Every structure is written in C-alpha cells, then in structure tokens.
Amino acid sequence: MLIFEKSVQGRAAQAQSPHLQKDAVRIDSSLLRQTKPCLPEVSELETVRHFTNLSRKNFSIDTNFYPLGSCTMKYNPRAAHQFASDEKFLNQHPYIDDDYKQGTLQCLYELQHTIKSVTGMTAVSLTPMAGAQGEFAGVAMIRAYHDERGDKQREEIIVPDAAHGTNPATAFMCGYKVREVATLSDSGDVDLTALKAVLSEKTAGIMLTNPSTLGVFERKIKEIADLTHEAGGLLYYDGANLNAIMGKVRPGDMGFDVMHLNLHKTFATPHGGGGPGAGPVAANSKLAKYLPVPVVQKTATGRYILVDETHYPHSIGKLSTFFGNTGVLIRAYIYAKMLGGNGLTQASTLATLNANYLMTALHKAGFTLAYPQRRASHEFIITLEPEHKIYGITALDVAKCLLDRGIHAPTMYFPLLVAECLLIEPTETESKQQLDEFVDAMIAIRQMMIENAEQLKQAPQKLPVTRLDEVKAAKTLDLVWSE
Amino acid sequence: MSFTPHTPEDIALMLNSIGIDSVEQLFDEIPSAIRIEGLPDLADGINEMAMGREIKKISAGNKNLLNFIGAGAYQHHIPSAVWQLAGRGELLTAYTPYQAEASQGSLQIIFEFQTMIASLCGMDVANASMYDGASALAESILMAVRANKKTTSKKIVIADSIHPCYLNVMNSITRYQGIEIQCVETDRYNDVNTLKSAAHESFAAVVLPQPNFLGQLTRVDAITDWAHQHHALVIGLVNPVTLGLLKEPGSWGARGADIVCGEGQPLGVPLAGGGPYFGFMACKKQFIRQMPGRIVGKTTDTNGKTGYCLTLQAREQHIRRSKATSNICTNQGLLMTVATIYMSLLGPQGLKNVAIKSHQNTARLIELLNTVKQVHCVYADNFCHEMVIQVPSSAKSVLKKMADRGVAGGYDLATLGQAWADKLLVCSTEVHNENDLQQFITVLKTAIEDV
C-alpha cells in the first residue's frame, strides 16, 4: 500500500510543523501556490511504520550475501557511519570559512594522500559525486590536455568491448567518438593487433579497467600503455575493480595517466539503495593541473584550505555546487584509516582468495568457467550456456532462484561478451562458510534444472512479489500515483 | 583491521582447495616489473576504539556556528524519525534496485518520491533523483536541447541572478556538447523585458530561478509565456521547501514550465559541509524519454499483484552505451529516501508552514536590521527567505568578526564582483527563534564597530 493511500485529510505529524502565530506573508499573491501538493497526511507513527515495513522488503548487505560482480558489496563498517554522523561534521554550512572546518578538511586532505598511495598517482580531486562523474572528469581532463596543446584532431576514445556502459556514454558526453576494440575470447586480454589497428593520430585516449570486467588481469598492460602513448593518446583507468589490487600493483605504475575510484565499492561506503557514492579522480603529473576543483591543500603553517580555479587555472571546472559528497568522503577516510596500509592490502588479498576459492569450488561442482585457464581477480565469470542448451534455463532464472534462497543475484548478462553469464564477486568480508553455502545453493539449483526446470522458471516465489512484468511497466508508464 | 572473517585454518583450507601454497600465487599473472609489496607509506590500521579517539581529536577542528548562511544549502529542522528510518541497514546498505523482486522497499519509496516531487513541481513525472542541484540543472539543459524539436538551436538563456557555482558546473558539464549559454543581465525581478532585449535569435530553453540566487522572486508568468511564444522550453530552477508556499512551476504562465529541477537538500538533509545532497528533476509527460537518470514504474507480477521496477532503461548507459541520455548510472538513493520520509512527516500543511515561518523570520530580521546603523537592506521586499544587506566595510571582515562570536552571518557576495564586496546574502529559516535573531543583530552590531 502506498503512503498516499493511508492519507486522511487533516491528519499530520503535529510535532514536526513549525508553530505559526499568523500565516500572513509579504509576497505578491500572483506568485503564491493555489493548489495543494500531493503529499500524504499521516501521523508520525504511520510514517515510521510505513517506511520500516518497506525496508523489510529489501535485500541489503546487512541482511544478505551480495556476490554482485563489479560492485564490491563488502561490509560497510558501522563505525564509519557513526563517526561521520557526528554533529561536528553534520552541522556545518559549506560556506563557512575554512578556519571553522579544519576537521573536515583534515579528513579530506588525508584521504587524498591515501588515494595517491594506493593508486600511484600524484594528485587527487575528491569532488566527483559518483563513479560516472569521476569518469567524466578524467576524460574531460584528457580533452583539456589535448586542447591546450592545440591537438584538436584527436576525436576518438578507444573502449574495449567488455567495458562498463558508462565508459562509452562518458566519452560521448565529452564530445568524443567511441572506437571499440575487441578482447581475445580465449584469454580475456585486449587484442593487441586490433588495438594497433584503431590507434591513430585521432586517438585521444583509451579507457580500461584492470583487472578487466572479465575478472582477469590484463597482462599486456605495459604494451597497451606504450602503444597508446606512442600514438599520442592517454590512458584512463576505470577504478571499478580497484579492490582486487591494493598493495599489489598501482594504476600509476601500469602507465595510466588518470583514473577514478569508486569509494562506495573499494572503500566500503554504503550504497544507500543507489547512492550517494563518490568517484574521486586521480592523475599523474601530466594531467594534475586539469583536476576539477575544489581541492584541499595544506599550507606551510599546517592549515588546511580549499583551493579553486585561482590556484588551478587549467581546471576543467566545478562538478558539484559545493565540495561533492563530503559525508561519503569522511566515511571512506575513516574506513581507510581503520584498515591502514596493511589492512587495505589484506582486503585485496582476501577478496582475491575468496574469488578464486569460489571459482574453483563452482568449477568442481560442474559449472563452466568463462576463462578456465586464468586466475580470478576479485571476481570471475561463469557461463550457463551449457545448462541453457540442455535444460532451457537462463542466467536470469538462476539469478531469481538465488533470490529465493536469500542470496542476492550475481551481475547477469554483463559483460556482454559471454553468453548467459554470471559475474561473481564475493568480496573479502564474506566467510568460507558463506561461500560454501553459495556453492550448495548453486548445486541445488542445478538439481532443480534436472528435476523441474519449469519450477525454476517460476522463481522467485518467496519474496514480496514474483517476477515482474517489465514490458508492461515501460508500456503503461505509470510513474506517479494518482487518485 | 580489514573486517575479514578468515581464520588461518580457513585460509589453509581454501588454498588447498585451489591447489596452491600461498595467497601470493594468486597474483602471479601481474607482471613482476610493476608489482609492489604492500602500502608501506600508509600507517598500519587501528581498531574502532582508537579510531573513535582519533576522530574526536580531528572533529574538534570543526566549529559549529549559529547559521544564517543559505546560498544554495538551507538549514531546516530534521525530524528524528527521518534519519533513524533511512539509517536502517535494509535501506542504507542496499544496492541499486536492479533485482526488482529483492528491492520492493527501495522501489516503492522511489515511486512515492517521484509522485511527491512531480506534484510539488506541478509536473507529470519525476525521476529518482540526480547528484545535486547544479548537476541536475546541467542535465536539464542537455535534456532541453534534446527535447526541443522546434529548434536546432543549442542556445540556453539564463538570468545572471543564478547561483555562480551553478553556472560553473553547467559550463563544466555541458561545454563539450556544443551548448551555448547566454547569461543575461537582469533586474531583481528577472523582468521579461530585460531578457527580451538580449535574446535575439532562436534559443532552445530559458532557465528561470525561483527564488533567484539573491533570494528575490522572479516574475515567472510573463517570462514563461514569452519563452513559449519563441518556441523555447522553460526550465524552472526551484527550492522544494519554498514550493509549499510558492506557485508550482507547472502553473507558471499559460502553459507552465516544461522541466523543473533543483537542490533537494532542504528536504531533510543536513548541511554536512556540502554533501551528500541530491538533485531532483521533473518534467511534462511528453519529454520523459529525454529525461536522464533512474525512473521507477508500477507494474504487476505473474500473479497480478502490484509491484515496482526500474523502467525506460533503454535510455540508460548500460543498454544504450554511447547513445544514452547521460552517463549517469545511479541516483542519490539514500538522500531521496530521506526526502520522501521528510515530506511524509511534514505533509502539505507542514511544508507550507516551514516555508511561511522561514519567510516570516526573514521579514522579522529585516525589521530588526532597520534598527542597525550603517546597515542597509538592499532588497527589503520581494523576498522569500533570503535577502541582501549592505554593510559599511567589506563583507569579508564583518563575517570574520561575526564568526569569531559564534555566528555565521551570511554569504560573502564578493564572488559576484567588486561592486558586491560590501554585501551579504543572509538567510533565516524556521530553525531560528527570536533569541537567535536578536543574537544575529547584536553580533552584527559589534562586528561593525570592531572592523
């Protein structure tokens, strides 16, 4: 039931309305509202009950295992949330003088340092509010670099066919044409011959994820970097999979010029049902001067200050009204500080161990790996193409069946290269027992395929709704409630 | 301290199962020339108790002031229930609701949010939120250019009374797609005649801030009709709390605004040093396919039961890739949840009362300011809950002195140019009582004497 259907005219959460002695206003009547907006008229208890009950219709990390490839759904430490929710951080207008927000600025400054250490880059801007905005910043910086050199014929960005959809969409937003480059189907590495064929004086840059979205480390990364640089292009690193490599290898050392990080993945800030995230952008010395502003600096006297275009005249500009998602950045700072250099390294080690253990176990259980001869990074792909052919079931059916067993579905049908695929990322915060339970669930689902494939196609049956008619939703476009 | 559950025995069993001897072997595909061994320039981790001590020390560097700054971020009372509910793990730690059956809570909240925002704006539909107000405006501009089929112009006309940071962000985000932004100098009413003289050729859309950056109310009806006569779309840039009181953009002029966006922070989100906030976006139904961002629709399951799912995904990057409406691949889910709970607790009358009380407090502050020598209210009428005052010396020095006495006295308008360096943008909302207003006056007087 929608909250509007619980509404009764004249009812209100009375404790929440400010007390008015009179309702007179000094505003021209032609500018005043004549209609009553469709907000519910409900009591405070009704509101609390409504949203509490809605929350119970959700999967979440706090309640379920999320082996969701490319999303790094690790535990979100309560301490980070609790400490960042202190009044000292919350009750601060963004436009108060820097002198009164030294605490916040110190957290941000130290986070910039941590990011530099982890990535091997020389400068960081924390302002992008999501991974996609960090990507935008990075590609815009590549553009600013070429533009400043008068290198205007560079109008293409190269993107592997396995890339996240945000990569080509970002390239377009920055005014670039997208050239796709193939991935080798046996190894998952980029096809160097194909790459050489698309590199030219028109190449502005290449966008790569490493480990790639195929769950394998791109072994020829140095060759790719050299070839791209020789052609006059720059390398952009999509930090979606950074959780695989902290303390093992750094994008800066691989030859990347600019990158973004997803703090809501690698640095464990809560996803919030789809945001807020944070997508800081880091660059090497070649591109540092183009970073979006503001950036936090420390003066000789130890004072922290926010600097803007006056210090960064080549900046691509501002991407948010104020600083970006400050509260998310503070949570990430706390997480990184609690883990430390050793803990971050251990996180990547055990994320990789979990992925390889799970991959091996599923393989032993008879599932087909997309890249059986490769190590898994922090994630891996299985293909259900054989099961699809024999039993007629799809990756979607298996995903929905997992939901019935209290396990969030892995990423499905991505990357687009592998048919009927599941991209599986367990993260380091899951126990061996949880991974074993997942394998057991997959074995049980396989048994269902053999015994009762039709029943499998009816999943889920134990959730608040069964499979939803998405075609109907797009056709009827019922997007708002009305009486 | 990596929040990992592995015992040494677990690790041994797992390695054995994989068929290797050490975890390092898992990284043997990384070329050795670029391998590093850990992160030695970062300190080792610390436990929660030590972190608690550390963060107390750091946060002591933050000073909380009695706040009279608005300028795009507004302090309002936040009911206790808002964040206690939004902070439930089931909402806080959920993923984007791609798996609809496992996300009916988040999806229904988005559907309710879309309903509330669309209605507040007087529009037909709304999306599931954007990053913040400025980026929502940038996306609205790109959307308007795509949606306006009556002109090929990529020109956008904007009154110069818009937030300067919004202009900056708009430029950063739209500049690579051939968008031309014409910033027009207007009077404080954004009078249509001032715009008319500037816009000669055809243009795709006009952006109308209500209220504008200086807290002044735009004469929205006349400009909306004028823009429509010129086949341009109208983008309303609004503060959602003031829409409890002010005319909804859907009723501006004869046909209403076409796209409405703004900063959602006033709806239950704390100031929090500038974020995370959220942007909102609503539009007339005919433009929905050009709208970026997540959108939730109502549907039924295989048993005919009502449910909700993401819809119109064919607009989005994970399907359309380089032909998507935007590269955006998320919303600000948690903040949007907060706003939905806030709007539920306030209801239509409560929200209107917040807007009225904020306006009345600002009016009362103007009344009190009339008693302060050397201070002049630049705009003493036509305001909503923010106004401009002129002080006898630089705003910067006055603000500094006020802050030293515990009051954040306003926003320094020097960012608009030298002519504004002695002017402050001051905001009062329902959180202030008479004592707070009196304290502002006392501290302002002392500050002026001190400078």
Which residues is A293 bridged to in the sheet? A318
For residue B316, pLDDT beyond 80 = no
Tens of pLDDT along B213-264? 999 999 999 999 999 999 999 999 999 999 999 999 999 999 999 999 999 9
- pLDDT of B281 higher than 80: yes
Q: Nearest-CA distance from B230 to chain A in Å?
A: 23
- pLDDT given at position B317: 75
Contact B345 A272 (CB under 8 A): no
Chain B, residues 62-101, CB within 8 A of chain A, namely: 62-65, 67, 69, 71-73, 75, 77, 79, 81, 83, 85, 87-97, 99-101
Pick the closest to residue A170 from A140, A196, A190, A200 (CA basis). A140
Q: Once rounded to an integer, what is the mean pLDDT over residues B287-300?
A: 96
Considering only CB atoms, which chain B residues are within 8 Å of A253? 34, 36
Is A225 part of the contact surface with chain B (CB cutoff 8 Å)?
A: no
Q: Show which of residues 413-432 on chain B sit within 8 Å of chain A, judged by CB atoms.
A: 430
Average pLDDT over chain A, rounded to an integer: 97
Task: Report the candidate in B213, B238, B206 with the shortest Cα–Cα distance to residue B163.
Answer: B213
Q: Which band of pLDDT confidence, cut at 50, 70 and 90, is reported for residue B189?
A: confident
Report the predicted TM-score, pTM, of the whole model to 2 decimal places.
0.97
ipTM of the complex: 0.97
Neighbours of A4 (CB within 10 A): 20
Contact call for B271 and A92, based on CB within 8 A:
yes
Q: Which of B278, B330, B347 sits opposite A277 (nearest CB)?
A: B330
Q: Supply the pLDDT for residue B1.
A: 65
pLDDT score of A211: 96
Residue A182: both structure tokens together: 């193939």
CB contact under 8 A, A479 and B327: no
In chain B, residues with a C-beta closer than 8 Å to the C-beta of A357 are 14, 17-18
Q: Do B65 and A100 touch (CB under 8 A)?
A: yes
Contact, B215 vs B74, CB < 8 A? no
B10, B35, B85 member nearest A48 (Cβ): B85
Kindly state whether A368 is in contact with chain B, defined as any CB-CB distance less than 8 angstroms. no
Residue in A with minimal Cα distance to B99 = A409
Residues of A whose CB is below 8 A from B129 = 275
**Contact status, residue B99 vs residue B307, Cβ threshold 8 Å:** no
List of chain A residues whose C-beta atoms are within 8 Å of the C-beta of residue B31: 219, 221-222
Residue A185 sits at φ, ψ, to 5 deg, of -70, -25
For residue A304, pLDDT beyond 80: yes
Chain B partners within 8 Å of A375 (Cβ):
26-29
- Find, among A457, A475, A3, the residue nearest to B299 by Cα: A475
- Which residues neighbour A357 within 8 Å (Cβ) at sequence distance 6 or greater? A432, A435, B14, B17, B18
Using CB atoms, which residue from B169, B321, B335 is nearest to A318? B169
**Cα angle: B100, vertex B104, B108; to 5 degrees:** 115
**Tens digits of residue pLDDT in A388-431:** 999 999 999 999 999 999 999 999 999 888 999 999 999 999 99
| Token pair 């609690």: residue | A338
Least confident of A260-274, A440-454, B150-164, B335-349: B150-164
Mind listing the pLDDT tens digit for each residue in B21-72? 999 999 999 999 999 999 999 999 999 999 999 999 999 999 999 999 999 9
Q: Which residues contact A360 (CB under 8 A, 6 or more apart)?
A: B17, B18, B19
Q: Do A343 and B2 touch (CB under 8 A)?
A: yes
Residues of chain A with pLDDT > 90, as a percent, come to 97
Interface A-B: count of C-beta contacts within 8 A: 676
CA angle B429, A87, A263 (to 5 degrees): 110
User: Is A176:B180 a contact under the CB 8 Å cutoff?
Assistant: no
Q: What residues in A contact B314, CB-CB < 8 Å?
A: 474
Contact B334 A275 (CB under 8 A): yes
- Nearest-CA neighbor of B368 among B377, B355, B359? B377
Q: What is the pLDDT of residues A52-111, one digit of tens each?
A: 999 999 999 999 999 999 999 999 999 999 999 999 999 999 999 999 999 999 999 999
pLDDT tens digits, one per residue of B330-384: 889 999 999 999 999 999 999 999 999 999 999 999 999 999 999 999 998 999 9
User: Are A74 and B3 inside 8 Å of each other by CB?
Assistant: yes
On whether the CB atoms of residues B123 and B288 are closer than 8 A, the answer is no
- Residues of chain B found within 8 Å of residue A132, distances taken between Cβ atoms: 317, 327-330
